[in-house]
Structure 1
Amino acid sequence: MSPCGPGSPSIPVPRAAALLLFLGVERALALPEVCIQCPGNVGNLSEVALYCKQTPELILLARCCLNQKGTILGLDLQNCSLKDPGPNFPQAHTAIIIDLQANPLKDDLANTFHGFTQLQTLILPQDVNCPGDTNAWNTVTYYTNRRTCQGQRNLCNSTRDTEMCPENGSCMPDGPGLFQCVCADGFHGYKCMRQGSFSLLMFFGILGSTTLSISILLWGTQRRKAKAS
């Protein structure tokens, strides 16, 4: 039974449990590099912080909002003097919300968000376009110092983009304004036109025999040159 005297500390049970959970998860998680590439922590008024505080199971550590498995659901790299998001940025491909405002970013970020299929809110400097432009988002809002891209669209729902995939392939989202064509089961190769599994044995057999034939030809040529001299 916990002490209840005048000098005893009074910590509500839910708050104490949350604190213990936070400390335990902080020790257990190996924090992704992208969360610490910029000094400081997420500000209390940050959009990422507000999103993270909506769910008690989520935790704010450094510049990230993480679930208990260490998956990044929010990333706040605002005001980090970034010219580009950096080589560790793909670690945040599971993020639902990302804040990159107040950075001297280059305008073209189209290929930066490959694989960011879960992203629903992206906050950028005012002079940087949303990746995929307005066609990739349900709403683009302009402010004096930032722009917000919200509601990532699935381009595979567009007839024009779906028709770009071959007959034996299907369209899969690959990030804002991006998609990829995936071959159906039993098909592979260029435009998914080859049927059956890809035979590594045949590939390396052909490669090996070709290499051997070229080697024998070169060896014979060098012998003739040696005899002639």
Structure 2
Amino acid sequence: MASRESGGSRAAALLLLLGVGRALALPEICTLCPGGMHNLSRVAAYCEDTSKLMQARCCLNQKGTILGLDLQNCSLKDPGPNFLQAYTAIIIDLQANPLKDDLAHTFRGFTQLQTLILPQDVPCPGGSNAWDNVTSFKDKQICQGQRDLCNSTGSPDMCPENGSCASDGPGLLQCVCADGFHGYKCMRQGSFSLLMFFGILGSTTLAISILLWGSQRRKAKAS
């Protein structure tokens, strides 16, 4: 009996240590605001429906990837420098915050985002054309169904012949060079040579250093 109790105590201690370790490994954005996730929030509902892990203000999968972020009512004027940690999120709640109006580039790289909840007076990033549905309520605005603007008429033409259009977040696009091409407008063929780049940079720096040293030495002799 004693051995079973001892084994149970060890197992409980191990689980506690694992829990502490997991908590310490949380991305900083998950603990930006005090407290945990609101039980009635859409992010919490998403976590429960998909059986994902809820810790602090985040909804994560087993690998620790952020799938949901609930930062509502956090007195935020902007999401902060760590917000990019949530670029994998599918749902984000930022309502009840005094956010600045222009969030156009805040969501660069958030290509998986499908539901974004904002204060009522803050427009959806990228505008209504970047979302399937934009719904306004008395206290919030919900942007749903991020569109891939590369599939819109005329968008692929913005990229050069050796590049292709790719989504870069709500209302944002980027041109990705095809394999074997790089540089401005993907016009250069072949891989980018780091060795050549740093070789030229090093040679230029050395030449400038020698010229400066010679100039200072002549001034020293003249004085």
Sort the Cα spacing of 1:138 and 1:211 in 2 relative to 1 into closer, same or farther, 3 A: same
* 1:73-130 alpha-carbon deviations (Å, 9 max, x no partner): 1111111111011111111111111010000000100111111111000000000000
1:191 aligns with 2:191: no
2:123 to 115, 129, 132: 129
Gaps of 5+ in 2: 1-14
Sort the Cα spacing of 1:228 and 1:194 in 2 relative to 1 into closer, same or farther, 3 A: same
SS in 1 for 2:154: helix
Letter of the 1:203 partner, please give it: F
Letter of the 2:127 partner, please give it: D
Whole-Å separation in 2 of the counterparts to 1:216 and 1:23: 62
Count of aligned residue pairs for this structure pair: 207
Whole-Å separation in 2 of the counterparts to 1:97 and 1:25: 27
* TM-score for the superposition, normalised by structure 1: 0.82
Q: Is the 8 A contact 1:107 1:129 kept in 2?
A: yes
**Partner residue in 1 for 2:37:** 42
Root mean square deviation of aligned Cα: 2.2
Letter of the 2:129 partner, please give it: N
Letter of the 2:33 partner, please give it: C
**Partner residue in 1 for 2:97:** 103
**Partner residue in 2 for 1:59:** 53
SS in 2 for 1:35: helix
Whole-Å separation in 2 of the counterparts to 1:108 and 1:76: 20
Sort the Cα spacing of 1:42 and 1:212 in 2 relative to 1 into closer, same or farther, 3 A: closer
CA displacement at 1:220 relative to structure 2: 5.3
1:181 to 175, 178, 194: 175
Q: Is the 8 A contact 1:25 1:68 kept in 2?
A: no
How do 1:153-168 residues align onto structure 2 when only pairs under 5 Å count? 153-168=147-162
Higher helix share: 2
Which segment is superposed worse, 190-199 or 24-33?
A: 24-33
Q: Is the 8 A contact 1:174 1:180 kept in 2?
A: yes
* TM-score for the superposition, normalised by structure 2: 0.84
Larger Rg: 1
1:82 aligns with 2:53: no
Indicate the percent of aligned positions where both proteins have the same amino acid.
77
Whole-Å separation in 2 of the counterparts to 1:65 and 1:84: 21
CA displacement at 1:66 relative to structure 2: 1.2
Q: Is the 8 A contact 1:187 1:195 kept in 2?
A: yes
Letter of the 2:96 partner, please give it: A
Letter of the 2:165 partner, please give it: C
Letter of the 1:63 partner, please give it: R
* 1:151-182 alpha-carbon deviations (Å, 9 max, x no partner): 00001112332211111111111111112111
Gaps of 5+ in 1: 1-21
**Partner residue in 1 for 2:141:** 147
Q: Is the 8 A contact 1:173 1:180 kept in 2?
A: yes
**Partner residue in 1 for 2:11:** none
CA displacement at 1:138 relative to structure 2: 0.4
1:206 aligns with 2:200: yes
Letter of the 2:34 partner, please give it: P
